[in-house]
Amino acid sequence: MKKRIAVAVTGASGLKLGDYFLRKLAIHSEYFEKIFVIFSENAKYVAQSEGFSLDFDFYKKHFDLLNDRDFASPIASGSYPLDGMVIIPCSVSSLASIATGVGINLIHRAADVCLKERRKLILVPRETPLSPIHLENMHKLSLAGAIIAPFIPSFYNKPESIEDMLDFFSLRILDLLGISLKDERRWKIDE
Ligand SMILES: Cc1cc2nc3c(=O)[nH]c(=O)nc-3n(C[C@H](O)[C@H](O)[C@H](O)COP(=O)(O)O)c2cc1C
């Protein structure tokens, strides 16, 4: 069955990671009934600071783009049948808001809804090193059902570029969403 998902992009370094994942979703749109996308205000600011341009025309063409203040949107309510949510990248600030249930924007609210409805929530934090506060928040979220999936590139697939790393990581996030694409780079796939 086709999935309804939400993808949020927050103001952690590495906006390219979120952008790459969204482009992979657009290529494989046949798996989805609906893809909601939200950028936090800080994501836009960090992209600008890092010299990375976010192509909102592309996002609008392929996704249902939501405002991060729109608490009246479908994904703000548990009664909307969302299958899951990915926050990529996820700042440790958004992670802390979700861990404490403080829904100050639509991203936090939608993540909170996923947890209360026992739906899939995948967080891709980007921070190093991690303080005890970050680790405690991740532990708390993991116990509440979230999947903590930091961007840690694998090497067994022999990546030759940053794009290779982003692509394989995006494939693994899709696996976590329950969408298993055929891919020869998987470990020992032919044995
Ligand atoms: C250039 C730049 C890079 C940043 N990188 C990170 C980062 O890698 N991880 C992180 O958690 N926060 C990072 N921050 C801080 C967040 O943007 C900040 O905590 C913000 O409140 C996050 O808000 P949001 O989660 O609503 O997007 C960065 C900020 C700037 C300006």
pLDDT band at 125 (very low <50, low <70, confident <90, very high): very high
Distance from Cα 153 to the centre of ligand 1, integer Å:
21
Please tell me whether 69 is known to bind a ligand.
no
pLDDT band at 185 (very low <50, low <70, confident <90, very high): confident
Distance from Cα 134 to the centre of ligand 1, integer Å:
14
> How does pLDDT run across 27-57, given as a tens digit for each residue?
999 999 999 999 999 999 999 999 999 999 9
pLDDT value of position 113: 98
Please tell me whether 94 is known to bind a ligand.
yes
Query: Does 154 have pLDDT greater than 70?
Result: yes
CA distance 177 to 187: 19
Cβ contact 134:95 at 8 Å: yes
Which domains does the chain show, CATH number per domain? 3-176 (3.40.50.1950)
